Amino acid sequence: MRCRSIIGCVIAITLLYAARARSQENIELDVGELGEMVQVAEEWAKENLDEEVLQSLPEVDRQEVERFLNQFQTQLKGQYVLDLAALKDAAKAVLPVLDAHEATKPYAAWLRSRLDYLDVAEQFRKNQPPPKAGEPAKPPLNPSPAVEQKVWKQQLSDREWPKGASDLVPKLKPIFTAEKVPAQLVWVAEVESGFNPAARSPVGAAGLFQLMPETAKSLGLRRWPLDQRYQPEPSAQAAAKYLRRLHSQFGDWRLALAAYNAGEGRVRGLLDRNQTRNFDSIATQLPAETQMFVPKVEATILRREGVSLGKLSKPER
């Protein structure tokens, strides 16, 4: 296989590794299989990525970025947290390319705030016991909520405030309070965007709180002539409203955050299927990103405010 750029080589190797990790079979992809993966990546990019934004990249870099973003989105939505570890090197190779072009910096901000997921997934992968001699490899086990909480607490134990937080947090906390939700939840913005209002995901979420277009519309935000998702105060008000709405449905902040990330229907379906109303009972069945997102938010709030999600007050009526 020939690579036309360093990033291309990194991503090609990543695609091979990730596919093997998902199948848990010690076989190599043939050219046809790799071509099929590349085709899927290109089709995904056409449907989801903003062509005008990516046009600012040189052609070779653009193709490699599209492939990486496709693979990353696939793994975030996938079942296994450990699969994310395969993308660590590729993410670090792609990030400088996105940062080097003004039009793609919003993607860089989105990706940068998710590099922790790859580091933590790598920790989990290294801690997996090797298969016993003569036994076939088993699908990777997702870490339990207790293990996730412990590792995320360690991961963020010495994390300094992100750039922009010192200016934005004092302005946004009163907005959360006015919406009758705990002001500490403003730190969701650190996890979602690193407090960069320009952050944008490849699937259309935008702003400090990474609101999707339809969600933003349902919460009263305008997208034209100026997209209010990129404005700190309106986006904070919408995020606070949304979190209050989710808590009213699920009665628990961890479930509310899971629904914020994975969608209300996904969480409600898992709760009904498992006949439970407890986050821990469904945590390992959530998408890989959500399994990381909820404990990271909890660890972030604990680091910044010294309080756990379980101690946060319920929304006032």
Residue 127: per-residue pLDDT: 87
Asked which of 127-141, 169-183, 254-268 is least confident by mean pLDDT, the reply is: 127-141
Residue 27: per-residue pLDDT: 43
pLDDT band at 157 (very low <50, low <70, confident <90, very high): very high
Which residues are paired to 206 by β-bridges? 200, 211
The token pair that represents 77 in the structure block? 């939505």
Asked which of 10-24, 105-119, 265-279 is least confident by mean pLDDT, the reply is: 10-24
What's the predicted TM-score (pTM) here?
0.83
Residues 236-253, mean pLDDT to the nearest whole number = 98
Task: Give residue-wise pLDDT tens across range 193-208.
Answer: 999 999 999 999 999 9
Residues 118-137, mean pLDDT to the nearest whole number = 85
Residue 25: per-residue pLDDT: 41
Task: Give residue-wise pLDDT tens across range 21-56.
Answer: 454 444 444 555 555 555 555 554 554 556 567 666
Asked which of 43-47, 143-147, 267-271 is least confident by mean pLDDT, the reply is: 43-47
Asked which of 41-50, 250-259, 272-281 is least confident by mean pLDDT, the reply is: 41-50
- The domain locations on the chain are 6-126, 148-311
Query: Which of the residues are catalytic?
Result: 192
Residues 173-187, mean pLDDT to the nearest whole number = 98
Whether residue 129 is predicted with pLDDT greater than 90 in this model: the reply is no
**Domain 148-311 indexed as CATH 2.40.30.30:** no
Task: Give residue-wise pLDDT tens across range 294-314.
Answer: 999 999 999 999 999 999 999
